[in-house]
Amino acid sequence: MTPKEVMDLIKGKNIEIVDLKFQDFPGTWQHFSIPISEVTPDIFDEGLGFDGSSIRGWQAIHASDMMVVPEPVTAIVDPFTERPTLSMICNIVDPVTRERYSRDPRYVADKAESYLKSTGIGDVAYFGPEAEFFILDGVRFDQNAHCGFYYVESEEGIWESGSDRGPNLGHKPRHKEGYFPVAPTDSQQDIRTEMILEMEKAGIQVEKHHHEVATAGQAEIDMRYDSLTRMADKMMLYKYICKNVALRYGKTVTFMPKPIFGDNGSGMHTHQSIWKAGQPLFAGNKYAGISDTCLYYIGGILKHAPALCAFVAPTTNSYKRLVPGFEAPVNLAYSSRNRSAGVRIPLYSPSPKAKRIEVRFPDPSCNPYLAFAAMLMAGLDGIQNKIEPGEPLDKNLYDLPPEELAKVPSCPASLEASLYALEKDHEFLTKGSVFTQDVIDTWLDYKRTKECDPVRLRPHPYEFALYYDC
C-alpha cells in the first residue's frame, strides 16, 4: 500500500482516528493516536514528533525527542476500536539527523535484510514462526517485601477436575494430552477461529489453528511465511489480535514461555530459508534433501546458539521451558523429522520450494525483529565461513545414554548464561552494523538490571517449602 492508497482507504472507510504503533526495545507495542484532521500525505515523509524518554531501553531524558514515520504497507483498519481507526506501524527517526534510530528494533530487522542482499548470498530471507500461547480465564500475581504469589485460572485446567464451582462438566485435557482433542475437551475452537478470521482481515495469511499439548487452553495458530521484517510486523499484529479477541470473551492470553508447572511451555519454532532470484537456496542433494548452503546456515545457528538465546529466549522464564530432559529441544544438534533436536529439517513436502529449517529453541516472549535478525546473521556467518554442523542425530536425544549425550552441546541454562554468551560472542551480529555495539550493550544492561537482578534478589515461593525449616 502506498501513501496515496492509505489516504484513499481513510476516506473510503470513513476513518476518524489514525493509531501509530511502534516497538519499545524489549519488544512490546507502544502507540499514540491522532485525529484525522492531522493526517496529511506529509506524515509519510516528515513524520510526527513524540517524547521517547519513557520508552523502555531508549534514550535518556536529555535526548528524548523522537519522530515516528508511518510505514504505509502496514496499514490496517483496527478491529478492536469503537470509532473507525486506521492502524500503522512506524519507524523511529532522529528529528535532528533524520537518520533512523539505532535502538528501533524494526530498523535492526531492516538492516539484516539489507545485509543479506549486500553479501550476494540471497535476496530474501523467509521466516515462519509457530507461536504458542495460553488462553486463560484469569491470572492473579503480586510480589512485595513480605509475600509473593501467582495464581492461574482456567476452566480447562486439569486441576479443576475436582472443583465444585458451578456444574463441573469434566472434559479437561490431562497434562500433556491437549494435542488435537475435539470439543468439548477443546473448549476454545470458536475463540481461535475468531482470532484467525481477524488475522485474515488484517492481511495475515493463516495456515491452521489447534489446541496445543498442555492443559489449560494452550493454543497455536500458524501463519504463512513472509520476509523477515514483514513477518516480524505480522508477529506483533498476531499477538495484538490474540489478546484482544480473548478479551472479547472475557479471557486473557499470555505468551509467557512457562506459566504452568508440570506441563509443556510455549515455544516459537521458527521456520526459515533463503532465496535468490526466485529460487530456494536450501534445497539440494545432501542430508534430508538440503544443500551445502543450508548445512552451513545450520552450522552458524548451532555455533552461535548460546548467544542467540539472549534474543530468542530472552526472559528468565524462558529457561523454565528450556530444561534438559523435558519437552524443550535444548540439545544443539540437527535432524530430519526428529523434534528433540534444536534444529529440525521438516519433510512435509518433497518440493524444493518447501525446503527450510526449523529452529526450535526460540519462544514467543522474544522481540521478533531482533530474534529473526539475530538468527539470520548467525546463519549467514555459517554460510560465509562454511561452518560444518557435524553429523545429524536421528536418535531420540532424550533417550541417549549419558556418555553420548554429554558430547552434545546444549542451550544455556539461564538468562544470565545466555547474556554472558552474547557478551563473548557477538561479532557475527555487528557485521554491516546490523546490531550496533550500542544495541548489544543496551540489551545486556537492560536484561541484567531490569530482569535478572530483580528475579535473583527476591525469594521464590518454593524456597519456603525447601528451606523454611533448615
The model's pTM is: 0.96
Contact 108, 373 (CB under 8 A): yes
Stretch 175-198: mean pLDDT = 95
In the residue annotation, 269 being an active-site residue is answered as yes
Choose the catalytic residue: 156, 212, 263, 451. Answer: 212
Mean pLDDT check: name the lowest of 7-11, 185-189, 278-282, 320-324. 320-324
Is it the case that residue 60 has pLDDT exceeding 70?
no
Where do the H-state alpha helices sit in 99-188? 105-119
| Between 347 and 79, the higher pLDDT residue | 79
Establish whether 5 is a catalytic residue. no
Alpha helices for 220-267 (secondary structure H)? 228-248
Active site residue 358: yes
**pLDDT tens string 200-239:** 999 999 999 999 999 999 999 999 999 999 999 999 999 9
Instruction: Of 411, 274, 272, give the one whose Cα is nearest residue 344.
Output: 272
Active site residue 403: no
Beta-bridge partner residues of 139: 152
Q: Radius of gyration (Cα) for the chain, nearest Å?
A: 23
Give me the amino acid identity at 60.
A
pLDDT per residue as tens digits for the range 104-160? 999 999 999 999 999 999 999 999 999 999 999 999 999 999 999 999 999 999 999
Q: Examine residue 79 and say whether the peptide bond preceding it is cis (omega within 30 degrees of 0).
A: no
To the query of whether residue 230 is one of the catalytic residues in this protein, the response is: no
Please write the tens of the pLDDT for every residue from 406-420. 888 999 999 999 999
Cα distances (Å, whole numbers) of residue 388 to 147, 170, 209: 50, 52, 36
Is 287 a residue whose pLDDT tops 60? yes
- The catalytic position among 24, 113, 132, 381 is 132
Verify whether residue 155 is a known catalytic residue: no
| Confidence (pLDDT) at 397 | 66
Largest CA distance in the chain: 71
9-23 exposure pattern, b = at least 16 Cβ within 10 A, e = fewer: bbeeeebebbbbbbb
The string of DSSP codes covering 353-367 is: GG--EEE-S--TTS-
